[in-house]
Amino acid sequence: DTGVSQNPRHKITKRGQNVTFRCDPISEHNRLYWYRQTLGQGPEFLTYFQNEAQLEKSRLLSDRFSAERPKGSFSTLEIQRTEQGDSAMYLCASSFSEAAIQHFGDGTRLSIL
């Protein structure tokens, strides 16, 4: 199966620590998206890449959050100095183009102690 892969599946960390998640998109997809989902809510857009270029960032993405896609393939999302409010499911998706369907990974669930 060459679907979207996210690692780790679960991350538990203490408040104030830095965390990094990885997303491996479907190989021929040039668009990669990051979302955050909290209980009872739909996914909230964070940012997306077209190849290696980060084209849009939501206002939800504070300066503690940074995302990269250095070679236009896998992407990382880093959260520095984690806070309780960062606890959520972080979803990654990829697609061929802007209007194409997005294929989602299983997400990384972050829990801040």
Partner 1 sequence: ILNVEQSPQSLHVQEGDSTNFTCSFPSSNFYALHWYRWETAKSPEALFVMTLNGDEKKKGRISATLNTKEGYSYLYIKGSQPEDSATYLCAFTGNQFYFGTGTSLTVIP
Q: Which residues bind partner 1 (CB under 8 A)?
A: 4, 33, 35, 40-45, 48, 56, 58-59, 91, 93, 98-107
Q: How far is CA 54 from CA 32, 58, 106, in A?
A: 9, 11, 22
Compare residues 82 and 91 and give the one whose CB is closer to partner 1: 91
Compare residues 26 and 80 and give the one whose CB is closer to partner 1: 26
What DSSP character marks residue 40? Answer: T
Compare residues 34 and 82 and give the one whose CB is closer to partner 1: 34
Could you tell me the smallest distance in angstroms from the CB atom of residue 110 to partner 1?
16
Q: Tell me how far apart the alpha carbons of residues 83 and 99 are, in angstroms, rounded to a whole number.
A: 34
Could you tell me the smallest distance in angstroms from the CB atom of residue 18 to partner 1?
25
Compare residues 21 and 82 and give the one whose CB is closer to partner 1: 21
Q: Tell me how far apart the alpha carbons of residues 94 and 98 are, in angstroms, rounded to a whole number.
A: 10
Name the region of 51 (left: φ>0; alpha: ψ -120 to 50; beta: rest).
left
Could you tell me the smallest distance in angstroms from the CB atom of residue 14 to partner 1?
26
